[in-house]
Each structure stands twice: as C-alpha cells, then as structure tokens.
Structure 1
Amino acid sequence: MSDWTAEDLDRIGAAEELELASRRADGTLRGYVTMWVARVGDELYVRSAYGPEAAWYRHAVASGDGRIRAGGVERDVRFADASPEVHRELDAAYHAKYDRHGPRIVGTVVGEHRDAVTIRLVPVG
C-alpha cells in the first residue's frame, strides 16, 4: 500500500469526473462507471448517487478493490470506509466543486443520506 502523491491528489481532485471499475473474483475488471470525485485533505472519495442498490457500489463493496482513472492518472485502489468525521467536510467539497450543476443533482451526493454510501479510495502499489 502507498499514499497518494501530491500530483495524483491534485490531478484526480481537480478532475470533473472519475472512472471506477471494481475487480471480479477472477481478477478481471468490470466495466468502468463514471462518477464525481471529491478530495478532503489527502484523501479522495466517491459516493453512490443512487444509494446502496447501485450496481457499481454493490460490486465495489463486495470486491474491496479495483482501478480508477481521472485527470490522466490511472491507479489500482482499495475501496475503504470513510471515517464518520469526514462527511461534513466532504459535503462541503462536493458543493464547492459541483454546485454549478444545481441543487437537484448535487443533492444526490450530499447529506446524511449519502454518508453510508461513501467510499474512500486508497491507492495500492
């Protein structure tokens, strides 16, 4: 396991969208799914806009790892839980980055109803 580099954090954190693929039991990757990504400090997070029933989210939780692409960076990652203390800052990060899309769409990834479907992206290798 390793930490994000400052350059990776900057590039992924500034990217409009992130592509995420979870790993199947046989080691192959599922198809990439496009979503928003937010940065809080030296951590990167994604949230399921469609709740715990979204296929990508269920696969990510079940597999525990996969690969992401954003901002010209491609990395293997582990899908980890987010600490409860980060959610207020994470909501603020999503608002700062995406509010221009309007409250209806941003509302799908902010608020207490999204805390349980937050994944912290941890770089591997």
Structure 2
Amino acid sequence: MRSVNGPDAAWYRGTRTRHEGQITAGGHSEDVTFVDAAADTALNDAIDRAYRTKYRHYAANIIDHITGTQARSTTIRVVPRHSTKD
C-alpha cells in the first residue's frame, strides 16, 4: 500500500505514528500493523506495474504521480494482527 499523495497525507502520517490500525473492505474488518517497505525495490516495482496496468488509460502525468518518488517513499506492508480471543 502507498500514499499517492506522499508522506504529507493525513492517513499516512497516522500509520507512521501508531503503526497499527484497522482495514475494512467488503464488509470485513481486520486489525493490522503497518510496516515500512519503502526500501523494498521489488515490491515498489510490482506496485508500479500494477498501477500502470490499472490506470493505463489515464494521462501519463497521473501515472507518474502515483508511481513517482514521493509515492514510492510511502510504501508500507499491511500485516494482519490475529486476535488471541477465542
């Protein structure tokens, strides 16, 4: 996951402060830990390829924005935190 608006985006700053949060999608919520992955070149390259494929019909400047240095510097892994409750 990355912040296409760079490190100044409020949600991204929150991940850097707390390193934990909750993701909700498709009616399911999961407690997660946010782990810095900006130095993972292979991961960043894979995310760039996915964005270029998904947004290939958009203008080049939009693709450059979401795959640029500012966005890549915010790449984080989202790791599920499994509950110990029964």
Runs of 4 or more, structure 1, over 6 Å off, are none
For 1:79, the equivalent position in structure 2 comes to 34
Identity between Structure 1 and Structure 2 (%): 39
Alignment gaps of 5+ in structure 2: none
Cα shift at 1:101: 4.2
Name the amino acid aligned to 2:9: A
Taking the TM superposition and a 5 Å limit, the aligned residue runs for 1:1-125 are: 46-82=1-37, 83-125=40-82
Distance 1:107 1:63, change over 3 A: same
User: How large is the RMSD of aligned CA atoms in angstroms?
Assistant: 1.9
Alignment gaps of 5+ in structure 1: 1-45
Between Structure 1 and Structure 2, whose CA radius of gyration is higher? 2
Q: Aligned partners of 1:74, 1:102: CA distance in 2, in Å?
A: 34
Name the amino acid aligned to 2:47: L
The structure richer in strand per residue is 1
